[in-house]
């Protein structure tokens, strides 16, 4: 706590700090809410996980480029209340930078968005709004000046994720495969059966028929802020905003919002892909992206809905085999439980592809 106050005080905050408490449930960074006294805004303090985001300067440059671009657009469109519609990062007092390096740890602070809510689950109506909002987010970034760097190179490259899984298997660093009684091998076999099919996006990219665009790349349902009436205020958690396929944003939202259960629920037999959420979200997304979405991107949205549970399963499973070095875990089997859950979601989404395709074609 004292460390946190000392860190927060290095930033050019308004008001005096009253308290600092943990916030949210991200798997990568550590997040805190900084409450101030009186009318000054509250803030969000984050310790950036620099084992994962190795180039914090590039990361923050991306985020500042994105948030100031969006802010300018909203201003030009006559929007008000901008601090609730786009994140604002606070500079460090002595350096003017939006990040602080102290004792080997990286920190940043943004304005806390008041009277806003995040959700772990959404109904079809909110999904439609979210689809439109993520689509419009991509549309706003279509003309961002300059180039954004890849904060995590090849982040959503399925071919890379398959290679990383194979490397994890070959090393078996935690001895988990050696101790396997059959389940792990069965998961690996199932992943192998679908791996090539799921790497379709990379092939289309090499063939020149699929573009990369600036995407959010972590469109989990809880990364969107809503006001009390269900209107979308803004998109948060901008660490992974970078060039990617639109499948990233479409697929990752559905991975979290269309699952009947949370991504780490052990009851994987009750995991299913919710078509009502898919239908509502895709309606919103196609409306929000009508200025740029190509027929190839559009036709492959059902593939994207399968790709993201699959990719997440491969990532969780590789981390399990590596001995849990990437994602925060709460108990030893956590990454395996997450893998089972995401594989079940993948199977359910895959079975729904014909229905998804018919729906997209009808829009
Ligand atoms: C991580 O930090 P968080 O929870 O927003 C991860 C995402 C995964 C997600 C799974 C940089 O996001 O890619 O989809 O966990 N972020 C990174 O819950 O790896
Ligand atoms: Mg998050």
237 lines ligand 1 (CB under 6 A): yes
Residue 228 in this model has a pLDDT that exceeds 90: no
Rounded Cα gap, residues 46 and 36, in angstroms: 16
The confidence score (pLDDT) of residue 25 equals: 83
Indicate the pLDDT class of residue 120, thresholds 50, 70 and 90.
Answer: confident
77 and 221 fall within a common domain: no
Q: Is 12 left (phi over 0), alpha (psi -120 to 50) or beta?
A: beta
Residue with tokens 């080997």: 104
Residue 147 in this model has a pLDDT that exceeds 90: no
78 and 182 fall within a common domain: no
Rounded Cα gap, residues 237 and 216, in angstroms: 9
Q: Which residues pair with 242 in a beta bridge?
A: 215
The confidence score (pLDDT) of residue 146 equals: 80
Ligand nearest to the CA of 59: 1
Local structure of residue 13 (DSSP, 8 states): -
Over residues 134-152, the mean pLDDT reads: 90
Indicate the pLDDT class of residue 231, thresholds 50, 70 and 90.
Answer: confident
148 and 213 fall within a common domain: yes
328 and 189 fall within a common domain: yes
Query: Does any domain span residue 94?
Result: yes
The confidence score (pLDDT) of residue 137 equals: 92
Tell me whether residue 170 is exposed, middle or buried, using C-beta atoms within 10 angstroms of its C-beta: 0 to 12, 13 to 18, 19 or more: exposed
What average pLDDT is seen over the chain?
Answer: 96
Distances (CA, A) of 232 to 74, 155, 277: 14, 26, 16
107 and 216 fall within a common domain: no
% pLDDT > 70, the chain: 100
Query: Does any domain span residue 119?
Result: no
Distances (CA, A) of 362 to 21, 124, 210, 266: 48, 18, 22, 36
240 lines ligand 1 (CB under 6 A): yes
264 lines ligand 1 (CB under 6 A): no
Query: Does any domain span residue 198?
Result: yes
Tell me whether residue 234 is exposed, middle or buried, using C-beta atoms within 10 angstroms of its C-beta: 0 to 12, 13 to 18, 19 or more: buried
31 and 128 fall within a common domain: no
281 and 207 fall within a common domain: yes
Q: Which residues surround ligand 2, an ion (CB under 5 A)?
A: 26, 223, 237
CATH number at residue 51: 3.30.200.20
Distance between first and last Cα of the chain = 52
Structure tokens at 154: 């090849």
Query: Does any domain span residue 118?
Result: no
Residue 338 in this model has a pLDDT that exceeds 90: yes
26 lines ligand 1 (CB under 6 A): yes
67 and 166 fall within a common domain: no
Ligand nearest to the CA of 23: 2
Tell me whether residue 116 is exposed, middle or buried, using C-beta atoms within 10 angstroms of its C-beta: 0 to 12, 13 to 18, 19 or more: middle
Query: Does any domain span residue 59?
Result: yes
* Digit-coded pLDDT (tens) for 56-112: 999 999 999 999 999 999 999 999 999 999 999 999 999 999 999 999 999 999 999
Ligand 1 atom with the smallest distance to the CA of 26 is 4
28 lines ligand 1 (CB under 6 A): yes
12 and 136 fall within a common domain: no
50: domain range? 2-113
Of 113, 132, 162, which marks where a domain is finished?
Answer: 113
Domain count, the chain: 2
Ligand nearest to the CA of 248: 1
44 and 186 fall within a common domain: no
Of 113, 133, 163, which marks where a domain is finished?
Answer: 113
Mutate which of 150, 220, 308, 310 for ligand 1? The one with the most ligand atoms within 8 Å of its CB, which is 220
CATH number at residue 324: 3.90.1200.10
Ligand 1 atom with the smallest distance to the CA of 223 is 5
Indicate the pLDDT class of residue 121, thresholds 50, 70 and 90.
Answer: confident
Closest CA to 62 of 147, 138, 165, 134: 147
The confidence score (pLDDT) of residue 302 equals: 98
152 and 61 fall within a common domain: no
Residue 323 in this model has a pLDDT that exceeds 90: yes
Indicate the pLDDT class of residue 229, thresholds 50, 70 and 90.
Answer: confident
Q: What are phi and psi of 46, to 5 degrees?
A: -130, 135
The confidence score (pLDDT) of residue 230 equals: 80
């Amino acid at each position: 706590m004292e460390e946190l106050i000392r860190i927060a005080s290095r930033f050019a905050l308004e008001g005096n700090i009253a308290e600092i408490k943990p916030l949210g449930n991200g798997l990568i960074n550590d997040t805190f809410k900084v409450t101030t006294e009186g009318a000054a805004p509250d803030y969000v303090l984050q310790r950036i996980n620099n084992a994962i985001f190795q180039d914090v300067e590039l990361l923050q440059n991306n985020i500042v480029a994105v948030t100031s671009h969006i802010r300018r657009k909203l201003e030009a469109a006559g929007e008000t209340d901008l601090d609730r519609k786009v994140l604002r990062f606070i500079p460090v007092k002595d350096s003017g930078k939006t990040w602080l390096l102290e004792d080997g740890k990286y920190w940043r602070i943004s304005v806390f968005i008041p009277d806003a809510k995040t959700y772990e689950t959404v109904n079809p109506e909110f999904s439609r709004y979210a689809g439109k909002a993520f689509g419009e987010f991509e549309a706003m970034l279509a003309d961002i000046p300059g180039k954004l760097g890849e904060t995590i190179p090849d982040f959503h490259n399925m071919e890379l994720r398959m290679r990383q899984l194979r490397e994890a298997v070959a090393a078996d660093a935690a001895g988990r495969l050696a101790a396997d009684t059959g389940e792990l091998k069965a998961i690996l076999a199932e992943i192998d059966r679908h791996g090539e099919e799921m790497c379709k996006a990379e092939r289309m990219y090499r063939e020149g028929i699929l573009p990369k665009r600036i995407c959010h790349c972590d469109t989990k349902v809880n990364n969107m802020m809503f006001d009390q009436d269900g209107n979308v205020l803004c998109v948060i958690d901008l660490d992974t905003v970078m060039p990617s396929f639109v499948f990233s944003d479409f697929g990752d939202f559905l991975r979290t919002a269309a699952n009947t259960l949370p991504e780490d629920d052990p009851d994987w037999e009750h995991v299913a892909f919710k078509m009502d959420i898919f239908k509502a979200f895709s309606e919103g997304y196609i409306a929000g992206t009508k200025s740029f979405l190509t027929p190839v991107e559009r036709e492959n949205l059902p593939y994207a809905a399968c790709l993201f549970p699959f990719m997440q399963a491969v990532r969780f499973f590789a981390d399990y085999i590596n001995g849990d070095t990437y994602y925060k875990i709460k108990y030893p089997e956590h990454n395996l439980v997450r893998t089972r859950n995401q594989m079940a979601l993948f199977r359910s989404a895959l079975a729904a592809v014909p229905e998804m395709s018919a729906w997209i074609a009808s829009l």
